[in-house]
A and B are shown apart, each in its own frame.
Chain A
Amino acid sequence: MGFSSFFIFALRVILISHFLWTFPPWEYPIARAEGTRLIISGSSTMAPLVSEIGKRFETLHPGNRVDVQTGGSSRGIADAVTGLADIGMASRALKPQEAHLFGSVIAYDGITIILHRDNPVKFLTDVQIRDMYTGTITNWKTVGGNDAPTLVVNKAEGRSTLELFLHFFNLQNRDIHAHVVIGDNEQGIKTVAGNPHAIGYVSIGTAQYDATHGIPIRLLPLQHIPATIETVRKGTFPLSRPLTLVTNSPPAGLIKTFIDFAQSSQSHDLILKQYFAPLQEG
């Protein structure tokens, strides 16, 4: 056996034993003994927040685990109904046909119109916004801006931000003449930040964070009420949505403990850190 083949052999032994020592198969069973596990699924807006609340909940209630999955509000409600998830997440209020479900609001999120920072327009009335989205106003000159065509950014079908926006402005999605259709909040902000003539609508918390961190966007007030986390929290901002935890039956046991914890003042700092507005009094 030459030196180099001995060296390779030794290297293999070291690598394999190191691997076995780091991930010993006898300590790595296929199935772990089941503890109590809460499965939560739904809204991608809420998923980062509820994950953080879940982590704090786990440290306070050892032995229990909170698994958060994402996929959108509609899926959260569907999973809560079929029982695939213990709790569903919906970033909107329950609809009348969902009245048999039990919703618990844990925080609020406001939606506002955003423009590029270089756009001179500082205020738009509800009618002007509506006309821009339906294609009646197609130039910024009409609302006191530069002579440039508007670029309308709309949300994709199935997003609760879209539903809330349509409901507030009394529109149908087919009425909207959109130039760009986007999915998530950050994508909307990136689109508007990249185009001085764009108009879009996104979650206030996300927009406020990005605007204060140098992204060139401006949040427009709605009905003269400034778009901030504070006005959403006070309930004065007209266009806001509740972040709701949904269950199929009245919350009980660990599910109730978790929902109570998420609503309590113990998770207020986490809600603020994700740029949402907590309930007024814990």
Chain B
Amino acid sequence: MSRQSNHVQEYCLTVIIWTAATMVSIPFIWLMGDLLWNGWSHLSFNFVFSAPLNAGREGGIGPILISTLLLVGVCMGVAVPMGMGTALFLSEYTRHDHVLGRLIRGSLDVLAGVPSIVFGLFGNALFCQVLGFGFSILSGGLTLACMVLPILIRTVEESFRVISREQRLSAAALGLSKSTTIRTILLPAAIPGLLVGGILGLGRAIAETAALIFTSGYVDRMPESLMDSGRSLAVHIYDLSMNVAGGNPHAYATALVLVSLLFMINLSSSWIASRWTLSNQLPT
């Protein structure tokens, strides 16, 4: 009798767990299917590289794609060096309970939870108005950098922290200087963590709407410099689906481009990670 009920219990648990796992993957499959179904037929070489016409109902997304890449470029160009520096400071240059370290860590955790519209208003006030960059890709990229930094720093810091104490002590015993230790031991070992942080940040930046509409703006012309206003892919999707009657087909196609871009970034970074760890583990 008790064996029987045990059996039933096991069976129920298996069913529940399988159901949960299947249900989690349904939204993703649904979403991708919906995007492909509605967007695929509008996707073409011309769509990706030509300029939008008639408020985006016709033409393509060329300038918008370039603006997005520039925005992400500015964001990562600023965020990665600053993030690495801060993460090294937190994990290597201060004790874990240091006052300044605790202050920085605490404020980063608060910033990571701030809604992006708040970053947008902050970026508009600081970069567009006080610093006088106006609506520009520079303002947008810097705002995105502010948004991405908390996630980036915390992930990179964690990946420095998991490096074992023995490795650091061995380096010290060999008489390696701090900079040599960082360059030859800590950085290579932290590369996978860095990439994860980078991808998380990049994903958040590339899909951002609210923070960008007030900083990099709405202009869908090909940007001529970083001081030009430029519309990002996510802002374009939002505008097409919410403000433009008949904009839905191109909104779907643009979303498909955005998702493919994310896929490409993910794939290439995991490829880099695997190559990097292979070439650095063994002396050549």
Determine whether the beta carbon of A51 is less than 8 Å from that of B220: yes
Determine whether the beta carbon of A213 is less than 8 Å from that of B246: yes
Among the listed stretches A131-139, A147-155, A156-164, A181-189, which one makes contact with chain B, having 4 or more residues with CB under 8 Å of it?
A181-189
Provide the bound-state CA to CA distance between A82 and B244, in Å: 29
Q: Is B177 close to A, CB under 8 A?
A: no
Given contacts A84-B129, A205-B245, contact A273 B225 (CB under 8 A): no
Interface string of A158-202 (1 = CB under 8 A from B): 000000000000000000000000011111000000000000000
Determine whether the beta carbon of B54 is less than 8 Å from that of A184: no
Given contacts A32-B228, A273-B54, contact A70 B218 (CB under 8 A): yes
Provide the bound-state CA to CA distance between A32 and B55, in Å: 26
Provide the bound-state CA to CA distance between A187 and B242, in Å: 6
Main secondary structure of the interface of B (DSSP, over half): loop
- Most-contacted residue by chain B among A31, A55, A67 (CB, 10 A): A67
Given contacts A51-B218, A52-B54, contact A32 B227 (CB under 8 A): yes
The residues of B that contact A184 with a CB separation of less than 8 Å are 242-243
The residues of B that contact A31 with a CB separation of less than 8 Å are 225-227
Q: Considering the complex, which residues of chain B in the window 17-58 have a beta carbon less than 8 Å from any beta carbon of chain A?
A: 54-56
- Most-contacted residue by chain A among B239, B244, B247 (CB, 10 A): B244
Provide the bound-state CA to CA distance between A70 and B214, in Å: 8
Determine whether the beta carbon of A68 is less than 8 Å from that of B225: no
A192 to chain B, nearest CB (A): 14
Q: Considering the complex, which residues of chain B in the window 102-151 have a beta carbon less than 8 Å from any beta carbon of chain A?
A: 129, 134-135, 138
The residues of A that contact B214 with a CB separation of less than 8 Å are 71
A24 to chain B, nearest CB (A): 13
Provide the bound-state CA to CA distance between A180 and B228, in Å: 38
Provide the bound-state CA to CA distance between A185 and B213, in Å: 18
Provide the bound-state CA to CA distance between A122 and B226, in Å: 54
Q: Is A275 close to B, CB under 8 A?
A: yes
Q: Is A112 close to B, CB under 8 A?
A: no
Given contacts A31-B225, A209-B245, contact A69 B129 (CB under 8 A): no
Determine whether the beta carbon of B219 is less than 8 Å from that of A186: no
Q: Is B192 close to A, CB under 8 A?
A: no
Q: Is B224 close to A, CB under 8 A?
A: yes
Q: Is B241 close to A, CB under 8 A?
A: yes
Q: Considering the complex, which residues of chain A in the window 195-245 have a beta carbon less than 8 Å from any beta carbon of chain B?
A: 205-206, 209-210, 213
Provide the bound-state CA to CA distance between A29 and B136, in Å: 14
Q: Among A30, A47, A209, which residue has its beta carbon within 8 angstroms of that of B246?
A: A209
Determine whether the beta carbon of A69 is less than 8 Å from that of B217: yes
Q: Considering the complex, which residues of chain A in the window 102-161 have a beta carbon less than 8 Å from any beta carbon of chain B?
A: none
A81 to chain B, nearest CB (A): 14
Report the contact-size class of chain B (Cβ under 8 Å from the partner). Answer: 20 to 34
Q: Considering the complex, which residues of chain B in the window 52-99 have a beta carbon less than 8 Å from any beta carbon of chain A?
A: 54-56
Q: Is A44 close to B, CB under 8 A?
A: yes
Provide the bound-state CA to CA distance between A67 and B221, in Å: 9
Interface string of B202-240 (1 = CB under 8 A from A): 000000000001100111110011111100000000010
Determine whether the beta carbon of B218 is less than 8 Å from that of A29: no
Determine whether the beta carbon of B225 is less than 8 Å from that of A29: yes
Provide the bound-state CA to CA distance between A123 and B104, in Å: 63
Provide the bound-state CA to CA distance between A45 and B242, in Å: 9
Q: Considering the complex, which residues of chain B in the window 233-265 have a beta carbon less than 8 Å from any beta carbon of chain A?
A: 239, 241-247
Determine whether the beta carbon of B225 is less than 8 Å from that of A32: yes
Q: Is A48 close to B, CB under 8 A?
A: yes
Provide the bound-state CA to CA distance between A207 and B220, in Å: 25
Provide the bound-state CA to CA distance between A69 and B56, in Å: 15
Determine whether the beta carbon of A48 is less than 8 Å from that of B138: no
Q: Is A274 close to B, CB under 8 A?
A: yes
B40 to chain A, nearest CB (A): 20
Determine whether the beta carbon of B135 is less than 8 Å from that of A67: yes
Provide the bound-state CA to CA distance between A44 and B244, in Å: 10
A-contacting residues of B (Cβ < 8 Å)?
A: 54-56, 129, 134-135, 138, 213-214, 217-221, 224-229, 239, 241-247
Give 14 new A-B contacts, CB below 8 A, not counting A32-B225, A205-B245: A30-B138, A31-B227, A47-B239, A48-B55, A49-B55, A67-B135, A69-B218, A70-B243, A71-B214, A84-B129, A186-B241, A186-B243, A210-B245, A210-B246
Interface pairs (27), CB distance under 8 Å: A30-B225, A30-B226, A32-B227, A32-B228, A39-B134, A45-B243, A48-B56, A48-B243, A48-B244, A51-B55, A67-B135, A68-B219, A69-B217, A69-B229, A70-B218, A71-B214, A184-B242, A184-B243, A185-B242, A186-B241, A186-B243, A205-B245, A206-B245, A210-B245, A273-B54, A274-B55, A275-B245
B-contacting residues of A (Cβ < 8 Å)?
A: 28-32, 39, 44-45, 47-49, 51-52, 55, 65, 67-71, 84, 183-187, 205-206, 209-210, 213, 273-275
Top 6 closest pairs, chain A to chain B, by CB: A48-B55, A184-B242, A32-B225, A209-B245, A206-B245, A70-B218
